[in-house]
Amino acid sequence: MRKLSISIFLFCLTIWFVTTAWAMDSEELLEPDEAFQFTATIKNADKLLLSWDIADGYYLYRQKFKLVSLTPGMTSGEPVFPAGQIKHDKFFGEVQIYRKQIEVELPIQRQEPKLNKLVLEVTYQGCSDAGICYMPIQNTITFDLPAQLISGNKVVLQHD
């Protein structure tokens, strides 16, 4: 009977230790929006500036960014990314990552100059140095872009 009591005590102690350790780890892990603070601004009539402030101990994968226009008649061009750090990832192999801060310029192409409302879907994914990776994070943002007018063969910004 004594052996059974000791076994039950050790089992309970193990469960308590594992639960406490898990709770401590989950408290230390930042929420996705805290780890990767995202902002977007209009740089000009045809370009957006997308920025992420990345918390210490976290990083974003270059290959996991996806920027898609959901507005008919407007498409997102090829994003301009800065050079990232090379990391050997045990799941993805050699990848580029970003730490601290990243700014991406995103050209916008309009089929009609008078289109000025853009809905953009932004997807990205990152991890913590502790080895915990987040599911892909998706944001949908609406922009009121400055209107454009055609003057001769040139597209010019419309001034209000």
Q: What is the CATH number of the domain that holds 54?
A: 2.60.40.1250
Cα dist from 14 to 3, 5, 26, whole Å: 16, 14, 18
Asked if residue 157 has pLDDT above 50, the reply is: no
- Which of 49-58, 72-81, 126-135, 148-157 comes out lowest in average pLDDT? 148-157
Q: How far is CA 160 from CA 47, 80, 148, in A?
A: 19, 30, 11
**Helix, strand, coil percent content, the chain, rounded in steps of 5:** 20, 50, 30
| Residue 99 pLDDT level (bands cut at 50, 70, 90) | very high
Q: Residue 75 falls within a domain, yes or no?
A: yes
15 inside domain? no
In a domain, residue 26? The reply is: no
Residue 25 lies in a domain: no
Q: Is 129 helix (H, G, I), strand (E, B) or coil?
A: coil
Position 132 pLDDT exceeds 60: yes
Among the residue ranges 30-39, 54-63, 82-91, 147-156, the one predicted with the least confidence is: 147-156
Print the domain residue range for 119: 32-157
Supply the pTM of this predicted model.
Answer: 0.73
Q: Comparing 3 with 96, which gets the higher pLDDT?
A: 96
Q: For residue 14, is it within any domain?
A: no
Distance CA 59, CA 102 (A): 10
Section 29-38 average pLDDT: 94
Distance CA 93, CA 89 (A): 5
pLDDT over 90 at 82, yes or no: yes
Long-range contacts of 85-89 (CB under 8 A, 24+ apart): 85/59, 87/59
Q: Is the pLDDT of residue 41 over 80?
A: yes
Per-residue pLDDT band at 16 (split at 50, 70, 90): very low
User: Is 95 part of a structural domain of the chain?
Assistant: yes
Residue 146: inside a domain, yes or no?
yes
Task: Flag whether 4 is in a domain.
Answer: no
Number of domains in the chain: 1
Asked if pLDDT for residue 142 goes beyond 70, the answer is yes
